[in-house]
Structure 1
Amino acid sequence: MPSAPNLNVDLHCHSTVSDGVLEPHALARRAHANGVQMWALTDHDEVSGLPQAGQVARELGMQFVPGIEISVTWSGKTVHIVGLGIDAGHAALNQGLVEIRTGRVERARKIADRLRDLGVPDSYEGALAYAGNPLLISRTHFARFMVERGYCKTMQAVFDKYLGDHKPANVSGSWAKLANALAWIHDSGGRAVIAHPGRYNYTPVQFGALFDEFKQLGGEAIEVITGSHSVDQYRQYADVARRYGFMASCGSDFHSPGESRKDLGSLPLLPADLRAVWHDWV
């Protein structure tokens, strides 16, 4: 296998277990067909897809990294923390995820109420039809329903008009505390990664405070190369990794062939001077 920096690595994607459209086994096959050599499934707040994903990945000859993407509330907004190399059976991790999933259902019902008031009836039932796991119904599922019904032409348009931050149908979730999420990841044997930092609408001062707290809590890495980042943001967050001494991660954030900006295995390599989060897993 090539040295760590030269691997085709994809450590962030989603299956039908959360808000993706492919089942875990199909994701594994797509990753392998696209040349991925080290792969992680990181469903939102749920680990039940990991056994199937891992089995198929290993049968295909890929190195599998069990993962999770945990929803966190920090400074009043949602941040996603990826855990890599976790023990999916860890009791405290699973109990924490149960509590987050309960919050997701309550949030979805409130979103449906707001959409009804905006002239979009029956959206909860409509979104539920797109959710492989009803406990993980999300804004993505509402957006798929609304595109299918013709309220908007694209999912991005749904977020821009209805469901994005500060839009009329968005409901802020009340998720895990950052300290708790990192404790669950670390206690289960994993490494903690800030997912797609370029997506968060924080001021420079707030970003500095987030990175400081994450580092103080033992956070190891940030996503530098991700399907959610522009080329300029690749450079920006590579500089953040250097400044704070974070390891760097790489993941497409793949959800669907028709929706995602980047396919599995299609991202460029990390800058050669950065320490990959998987450097000692090869």
Structure 2
Amino acid sequence: MSLISPAARDALQAWLKGQRALQGAADNTLDAYARDVSEFLAFMAEHKGAAQGIAPLLRLTLPDMRAWMVFTRSTGVGPRTLARKLSAVKSFFRWLSEREGAEISAVLAARAPKYQRKLPRPLTEDAARAMIETVELQHSDPWVAARDMAVVTLLYGCGLRISEALGLDGRDAPLPDVLRIVGKGGKERVVPVIAAARMAVAHYLAESPWPKEDDLPLFRGVRGGRLSPRAVQKVMERVRAQLGLPASATPHAMRHSFATHLLSAGGDLRAIQELLGHASLSTTQAYTSVDQARLMEVYDRAHPKAG
């Protein structure tokens, strides 16, 4: 931070504070923003030969932006990460330009290289069921087996992120017909809970040696602490090896499978967006994929040809 001027540092902190208060940005997001913009400001100080105050920053040119992007790529950063960093920088500069009443067209004109969006591949419905059933066979201790099955059933049956499932506390059980989930950025959504998930959690609690307490984790590790995501990832790694499933069969793929199977069954895209907790519909469109033949079948039913 020594390469960053006090004025720029103060501006960065004020912007981050606003992102937390007004946008509800999560801690991890704010940490990434702070790191990305700090690296940008430090580069510009080196590039220009001196720490850049607010006025010099607002005079940056498109060649300055390109120099930063070339340097960032040279450190081994891929196009997807560069796009994320550029987005953070632009967001900071938009805020700065509004505060200062200045034009920042050069910063906004910078374009990150295109990249191919990677999507987790969904499991087939049969593979998803086999995953849940086989997870239960992985541990000799009945309560651990029941716990792992309950977690994976929640991921697939309710479309929860693994952090959301493992963030549940004792007060959330017995599971109701609908759960209020606080997801990324503090965004709250209502998620229907299927009967299989309610039964799986009830079975786990009946088997668990740890008493259910409102303020303690619902899903416990063997020592009683909150179950870690890595423990779920490891059991799924074993299962996918046994079932011959690809490495893409991860906990997150269960959530992706939930969305894909709903869509392929004729589910409404906006309803699925709400269930997943996506801020924008475009995220859901990229996240869910069904084969073209299925889409055409739905289209033909909805728009029968006259005559």
Determine if the TM-score, normalized by the shorter chain, exceeds 0.5. Answer: no
Higher helix share goes to which structure? Answer: 2
Higher relative contact order (CA 8 A, sep 6+): 1
- Normalising by structure 2, we get a TM-score of 0.21
Bigger Rg, structure 1 or 2: 2
Structure richer in strand, relative to its length: 1
TM-score by length of 1: 0.23
